[in-house]
Amino acid sequence: MSEIEGLFEGAKIAVLEAGELLKDRAMSLRVRMKGRDDFVTDTDIAVQNLGREKLEALEAGIGFVGEESPQSCSLDGAVWILDPVDGTSNLIHDYRYSCVSLALVASGRTELGLVYNPFSEELFSAVRGRGAFLNGEAIHVTEVENIRLANISFGVAPGDRDNAQNVFKVALEVYKKCHDLRRMGSAALELCYVAAGRQDGYYEFGLKPWDIAAGALIASEAGGVVGTPWGETLNFVGIQSVVAAGSGIWSQLAGIICGNI
């Protein structure tokens, strides 16, 4: 077994075990506010603590960044990037579109990604250069070439309500030109749904590294194009906007977004 395969198997076990904590309804209802429209539950903390413990036992030299960690970590070496609960608002409301999202980033490039929704028992995964999978079965983005035939999902960056008018202006223009719009409330799952061909494209502004590091690799390995609306490569440093879609409509979707920002 290669080093990356060993890390993948260890990380998979950690994600599956930590993900089961999302099913503890009492824990998910113990909620505190981190900021305006930004919540943290006891589940977020418990998942991060368990995930960190399991990951640090895999290999001592790999750093760790989690959404609920106050410290920062350089991306010059290898680092685990964990979102213990992506879709916290969904979790609080028992909407069941919440997941654990974990990526291994080395020198700024994602090498493996895992996204687990324990409510649907779906594990999306990818290792760079080896394709994308859902519960061990290969997945691929859709091949639609006309955005008028495409279902597009989007996010609203609820922590940045001052930008809401611009967000919905863009959404309206996308809606006018696509088949229909969707909104799930979990960036990691949105990216994985593009990877699995359940929706044709996804975009959102103002995302953080833990929101997208794993899902971006999974969508890319499933044959998708993933980047900023301006065609830049994601770098997982700071806040970024993302567009993910099959190659047939990526430029169409990005063009609508860039033309209306």
User: pLDDT of 160-189, one tens digit each?
Assistant: 777 888 899 999 999 999 999 999 999 999
Q: At what angle do helices 209-221 and 187-195 cross, to 10 degrees?
A: 0
Domain ranges of the chain: 3-139, 147-258
- Residue 146 or 68, more confident: 146
Tokens representing residue 141 in the block: 């983005």
For domain 147-258, give the CATH number: 3.40.190.80
Taking residue 164's Cβ as centre, other Cβ atoms within 10 Å add up to 12
Instruction: Order the strands of the 132-134 sheet from edge to edge.
Output: 63-66, 78-86, 99-106, 109-117, 122-127, 132-134, 137-139
Mean pLDDT throughout 56-73?
A: 81
Joined tokens for residue 157: 């960056």
Please provide the average confidence, as pLDDT, over all residues in the chain: 93
Domains 3-139 and 147-258 share a fold: no
Residue with tokens 């260890």: 10
Integer distance in angstroms from the first to the last C-alpha of the chain? 47
pLDDT band at 74 (very low <50, low <70, confident <90, very high): low
Which CATH superfamily includes the segment(s) 3-139? Fructose-1,6-Bisphosphatase, subunit A, domain 1 (3.30.540.10)
- Amino acid sitting at position 189: L
Handedness of CA 187, 189, 194, 200 (dihedral sign): negative
